[in-house]
Amino acid sequence: MSNRRDFFRYTLVAAAGAALTGCVQNNDKAIPQSSNPASVKGRPVVIATWNNLIATETAMKKLTEGGSALDAAEAGARIPEADPNDVSVGYGGLPDRDGNVTLDACVMDDKGNSGAVCFLKNIKHPVSVARKVMENTPHNMICGSGALEFALSQGFIEEDLLTEGSRKAWQEWLKEKKYQPVINIERHDTIGILAMDKDGRLSGACTTSGLSYKMSGRIGDSPIIGAGLFVDNEIGAACATGLGELVTQTLGSFLIVELMRMGYSPQAACEEAVNRIIRRAEAAGVTDYQAGFLALDKNGEHGAFSVVQGFNYALYQNNKNIVLEAGHKL
């Protein structure tokens, strides 16, 4: 039985005795296998950052109605995008420091196709625009006015996304204009969502309004393939939430999938991605931040881990739709 405290003493190089608990040997390497007590096998499955049970329910409904994993991930992501009370995604998202709501999103499917938009204004569903980028252009990512122009050409409608609540919060912030590119657990809930159909086809989506009161034009990890989201249908998928600068610098989602390819359990892979974030933050002198990851393997087993307490996630699997608390390192 793996023990989380032991896990953090492991190194990739084989160690002796008790430190090997929770590892499998692969040549000379000890591969961490720490397990998430809530992780079970089972397909179809949908997992999403934060406690948005309606998002996972909507995604699962798509799957059971015969939709693809990509249809499911997109449908789930559209739930917080349309929710005016969700201040980190889509409509109602907190603006940048100039008062503009700017959105970032990406999708990735089971064939390795991907699409993304960033610095997109006035379109409520960036995740669906990202999908159109994937399906209807030869490109992976479109940003700013180009993304808006493209969205309009695809039939999306321009609308004001700054709600009264978010405008007030921004005006309050303007009084001090304290520019602190710091994220804490109350101020972010980017949705990363991973869906796998009953036959094991995997897709994912990630969507956000990014760091509140960010500099105009700032892009975080969420629309970056490999950072906010990565899917490899042979291995599994991962997504992220939290301080995008750190997640991008460690390419967390790609890292997790690659670690799973090496044999790490989804949980161990998330824990190692968090370790990298913490090392990077220490090196950069970043304090008071949060980052969390979810991972899913081909059996439907999952991992979830964050830097500090407070990261939860929704899991719809084996006919149950539940919210779970992720483990944390600090």
Q: Which residue among 76, 80, 115, 220 contacts ligand ASP (CB under 6 A)?
A: 220
Q: Which two tokens stand for residue 254?
A: 């790609």
102 binds ligand ASP (CB under 6 A): no
77-108: string of b/e by CB count within 10 Å (b at 16+)? bbbbbebeebbbbbbbbbbbbeeebbbbbbbb
Q: Which residue among 244, 252, 300, 303 contacts ligand ASP (CB under 6 A)?
A: 244
95 binds ligand ASP (CB under 6 A): no
Given the residues 49, 102, 190, 207, select the one marked as catalytic.
190
Q: Is the preceding omega at residue 138 within 30 degrees of 0, hence cis?
A: no
Minimum Å gap between C-beta 150 and ligand ASP is 21
**Do strands 320-325 and 23-26 pair parallel, antiparallel, or not at all (unpaired)?**
unpaired
Per CB under 6 A, which region of 60-68, 156-164, 236-244, 293-301 contacts ligand ASP?
236-244
Identify whether the C-beta of residue 113 lies closer than 8 Å to the C-beta of residue 95: no
Identify whether the C-beta of residue 72 lies closer than 8 Å to the C-beta of residue 189: no
Nearer CB in complex with ligand ASP: 43/121: 121
Q: Which residue among 39, 58, 88, 306 contacts ligand ASP (CB under 6 A)?
A: 88
Q: Which two tokens stand for residue 126?
A: 């960036």
What does the alpha-carbon distance between residue 155 and residue 76 come to, in Å, rounded to a whole number? 21
Minimum Å gap between C-beta 7 and ligand ASP is 25
190 is catalytic: yes
Minimum Å gap between C-beta 49 and ligand ASP is 8
Minimum Å gap between C-beta 263 and ligand ASP is 28
* One-letter amino acid for residue 48 of the chain: A
List residues with catalytic annotation: 190
Binding region for ligand ASP (CB under 6 A): 88, 183, 188, 190, 208, 210-211, 220-222, 241-244
